[in-house]
Structure 1
Amino acid sequence: MRRTPREDLLEALSNLTVDFPTACRLVGTGRSAGYRAIQDGTLPAFRIGKVYRIRTDELLKKLGIEGPDAREAALARVREELSADPPPTRPLRGRPPKNDDASAPAA
């Protein structure tokens, strides 16, 4: 299941690095533009094996979150928003579940 933008931001605020797809979603670019940004140096990244990792301090600067105070404030706000909003539920496919009260015989 795909993560929400808030969950991506929470990952970036909580960790030292994020993976390439998460960084692209946060910056609002696609894969091709993300690879070009890495090649031209606008998105600083390093590789571990075949996987690109992006330092979150550089990524958060691009998002306008600079300094430890701004990072802590953003982290608290995102955690509060995530705890206030229940996760979205997908509609059930197929037949709706049986209602136990309706299927019980009348007394």
Structure 2
Amino acid sequence: MSKDIMQVLTQATVDVALAGRVLGIGKNAAYRAREAGEIPSIKVGGRYRVPTSKLREMLGLPAHEAPREPGLTPPIVA
């Protein structure tokens, strides 16, 4: 699995350029899409971040399921 997709699956937010890469568009197109509201974003500390839950929806991936690394035990849910 690519590093970019792993970040989308395991982090709460990613930068706009990474969101563009996983969507298959260039950096400039990603920033234009963010400006147009086509890529949802929030401003954190002066920088725009893309919530990965929304990005996963755009990609047709499960909204809250994070992949497990091989050999790791699943988390215990109480």
Tell me, yes or no, whether TM beats 0.5. Answer: yes
Quote the offset at 1:37 in angstroms: 0.9
Unaligned runs of 5+ in 2: 71-78
Counterpart-to-counterpart distance in 2, 1:56 and 1:67: 8
The 5 Å alignment of 1:45-84 reads 45-68=41-64, 71-72=65-66, 75-76=67-68, 79-80=69-70
Instruction: Note the alpha carbon deviations across 1:62-94, whole angstroms, 9 max, x for none.
Output: 1111343xx34xx24xx45xxxxxxxxxxxxxx
| 1:33 has 2:29 as partner | yes
Q: More helix by proportion, 1 or 2?
A: 1
TM-score (norm 1): 0.57
2:7 equivalent in structure 1: 11
SS in 2 for 1:36: helix
TM-score (norm 2): 0.75
Quote the offset at 1:8 in angstroms: 0.7
Larger Rg: 1
SS in 2 for 1:29: coil
Counterpart-to-counterpart distance in 1, 2:33 and 2:46: 17
Runs of 4+ displaced beyond 6 Å: none
Q: Is the 8 A contact 2:15 2:48 kept in 1?
A: yes
